[in-house]
Structure 1
């Protein structure tokens, strides 16, 4: 009887500790969401992007070392930088000139805008900018130094075929510590469109991520439906760029696509096994 009571007590203590850790992390993310460095325009997209739930799902906490892959203009950097500023570390693996499928001036413009953001507020002083191109042998961070790699809404891996995604996954795997998390948010291609010319649309089959991540050595751990949008049929004239916030097309098409909302996204969590 005493053994059962002690076992129950230990279980309850562990549960309370886990709950407290989760609550503390959530509170820290909530605080980062309200940081003064965030723009009002970016805050308005929190409803569609659900950053608090997304980062919590990927186990991002203030003491973690994190790589943000292709941060673009820094939408998530505005959240990650204040979250990790005191106890953690943020690497921003931005465009590399070794990625040849985007115009050089476009990538340079993107990096310049990102660098200007980093210079705009002291909260970004500890962000380390590195390079990333799917097929290039460039370290996004020191090997086995990272707790979480985040690939958030990046759709360009497939522009160079499956080989580019394989190389990208190998790069992520190398950067992660044993037990580290790869968090993927990506436009999800419906299964009935697998036989179409989908590679230039920005949508990617979920099964492709699952298969290639497993081949790279990752264990698939979990998925979440928080960013699914059933209104998104994934058959738009300009692919994912038809939908907000890009809204490519005529005024009539923009009105139609604005009513659909943001892209249907899969949220997948992978883990590098413990050695």
Structure 2
């Protein structure tokens, strides 16, 4: 049986017709946000790995965090930090006044539960990193997050911001995207920020490619109770044609084809990405 396209499968999930790519009325940032000194300091903190710093050219962390208006005093939850690329920036940034919480891969899943080995490995590595640098990271902590099995992100109305970077496709494949959005809504304070960066699809693309349709993600977030207040093209990449043999993982940093056409994909760079800022709108 042919796989459902991304548009068809998510339209079924959220109970709306598959949307077009016509953008709704919301503010679109025409220029990158100004990066404040505290964010700049976090970008150059000594806990960052050199290999991660090299990828700033693709991920624009200073402009992205400034666009989301993340404050040093925030209580912030990052969903599935993975290898800790953003954790190396966010945890030091929030160390003095705020609180960084990693909604991490479950490093100790129940016996008999089938879990990809890389998730356990990365989950343990991030927990260890947070513990080993606890003297520099303030209240930084970790909780297990494994939708749809584990979806709680903390006490209701306790977080100022929740951020997720290139994870929505994983939860969509697991059929858990609605539950994730509901959990984010619950943990955020009224008016709190939900920041999303995700690989951006063309119409009709399959879930297996790793790309997601921007308008569908907006519709799903709005169904959960969020209001889209702004979008940014800071993480856009017009070189990304999105028709690669191994989906988004054909591009760096994964480079799933190995040496085959490596120079071509390095020249394209990392994927074209949507950058969306939502706020929690209190439900009537």
Normalising by structure 1, report the TM-score.
Answer: 0.84
Residue 243 of structure 1 corresponds to: 251
| 1:33 aligned residue (23, 43, 58) | 43
For 1:21-46, what per-residue CA distance to the aligned partner results, in whole angstroms no more than 9, with x for missing partners? x97x7111101111111111111111
Quote how far apart the aligned CAs of 1:180 are. 0.3
Greater helix share, structure number? 1
For 1:183-228, what per-residue CA distance to the aligned partner results, in whole angstroms no more than 9, with x for missing partners? 000000012xx1x4x1111101111111111110111111000111
Question: Per chain length, whose mean CA-contact separation is higher, i.e. which structure has more relative contact order (CA < 8 Å, sep 6+)?
Answer: 2
Inter-CA distance 102–222: structure 2 relative to 1 (3 Å threshold): farther
Quote how far apart the aligned CAs of 1:116 are. 2.8
Q: Where do residues 165-180 of structure 1 align in structure 2 (5 Å cutoff)? A: 165-180=177-192
- Local SS of the residue matching 1:256: helix
What CA distance in whole angstroms lies between the structure 1 residues aligned with 2:196 and 2:147? 15
Residue 163 of structure 2 corresponds to: 150
| 1:78 aligned residue (58, 72, 88) | 88
**Considering only CA atoms, is the larger Rg found in Structure 1 or Structure 2?**
1
Residue 181 of structure 1 corresponds to: 193
Which structure 1 segments of 5+ residues have no match?
Answer: 1-21
Q: Is 1:140 paired with 2:153?
A: yes
Is 1:48–1:262's contact at 8 Å kept on the other side of the alignment?
Answer: yes
Q: Is 1:213 paired with 2:227?
A: no
Is 1:67–1:141's contact at 8 Å kept on the other side of the alignment?
Answer: no
- Local SS of the residue matching 1:28: helix
What CA distance in whole angstroms lies between the structure 2 residues aligned with 1:204 and 1:160? 14
- Which stretch of the first structure deviates more once superposed, 221-230 or 111-120? 111-120
For 1:236-273, what per-residue CA distance to the aligned partner results, in whole angstroms no more than 9, with x for missing partners? 11111111111111412322211110011100111101
Residue 190 of structure 1 corresponds to: 202
Which structure 2 segments of 5+ residues have no match?
Answer: 1-32
Inter-CA distance 32–67: structure 2 relative to 1 (3 Å threshold): same
Q: How many residues align?
A: 246
Is 1:101–1:159's contact at 8 Å kept on the other side of the alignment?
Answer: no
Structure 1 outlier segments of 4+, above 6 Å: none
Q: Is 1:117 paired with 2:129?
A: yes
Q: RMSD over aligned Cα, in angstroms?
A: 2.1
